[in-house]
A and B are shown apart, each in its own frame.
Chain A
Amino acid sequence: MPINYYIFLSITLFVIGIVGVLTRRNAIIIFMCIELMLNAVNLLLVAFSKMHHLAKAATDATAGIDGQLFVFFIMVVAAAEVSVGLAIIVMMYRNIHSVDVNFLNRLKH
């Protein structure tokens, strides 16, 4: 498939994620939208990795493998982030019984 399609697909997903972040108030949903953004990146990386592999396979059999490994690391980090993030959200929920980010307005100006 032409790489263009993957680029646009990923960007679309990425932007959908951003729009989600912008339009929702539930902290968990916002976080999920961020995960969506990460997945868009993953998809793009894999596509690029395959593209580079095709372009350089003749000289380097493992060309492009780094892209996929990067995706692996992203997943690792995402998992770590999720554990911390959800912990924070839960802590928040324990204190104010809400996950509405609009309630996060004690700190301003």
Chain B
Amino acid sequence: MNITQILFWFLSALTVFSALMVVVSKNPVFSVLWLIFTFFCISGHYILLNAQFLFIVNIIVYAGAIMVLFLFVIMLMNLNKSSEPKKHRWLRMAGVVAGGCLLLVFVAALKNIDIKKQIAETNTGDIGLIQNLGKALFSDYVVPFEISSILFLSAMVGAVVIGKKE
């Protein structure tokens, strides 16, 4: 049990816990905060996997920008009280049971895969560095990159269409 492993298990537990808290928190604001915390934990995993660029992006874009946007919206709507009406109990139960079954089936299906002993290299490896990623992004992946700009344009137009007051 080296430090990486300890960190992995710790982070994993924390991730799962905070993810669960996202689901069970009654107050939407808490949910958002727990989600941000989850993202931090996942970012921690990225660090472990030496994916530095993604770590940064995850913190800035996800935890920083996106989640703050969520928070704004929730605040804007004044949803910060735990007023959300509950679903029918049996519906919730059905949801949990269905999800549990899915997890069970997934795990059962994947528990004996051929690559299960393969190692995801931690701490080392330089593919997660900004330099390498940048090179790849603007050489091999320039077309998808440009395409994603179209996506953004369309999202922008869309947001304007939806948001503009008539």
Contacts and interface: CB of A to CB of B under 8 A. Distances in A.
Interface of A: 1-9, 11-13, 15-20, 22-26, 28-29, 31-33, 35-36, 39, 42-43, 46-51, 53-55, 57, 62-66, 68-69, 71-73, 75-84, 86-91, 93, 99-100, 102
A32 B32 CA distance: 8
Contacts of A7: 110, 113, 116
23 contacts: A1-B4, A1-B5, A1-B122, A2-B117, A2-B119, A11-B110, A15-B102, A17-B19, A18-B99, A18-B102, A19-B96, A22-B92, A28-B28, A28-B79, A36-B19, A46-B49, A51-B120, A62-B136, A76-B152, A84-B162, A86-B70, A91-B162, A99-B79
Contacts of A28: 28, 70, 73-74, 79
Nearest to B92: A23
Given A50-B50, A64-B127, A36 B38 contact: yes
A4 B116 contact: yes
B96 A23 contact: yes
Interface residues of B, number: 84
Contacts of B28: 26, 28-29
Given A42-B54, A93-B77, 13 more contacts: A3-B120, A13-B38, A22-B98, A23-B92, A29-B84, A32-B32, A43-B42, A49-B127, A62-B127, A62-B132, A72-B54, A73-B148, A79-B65
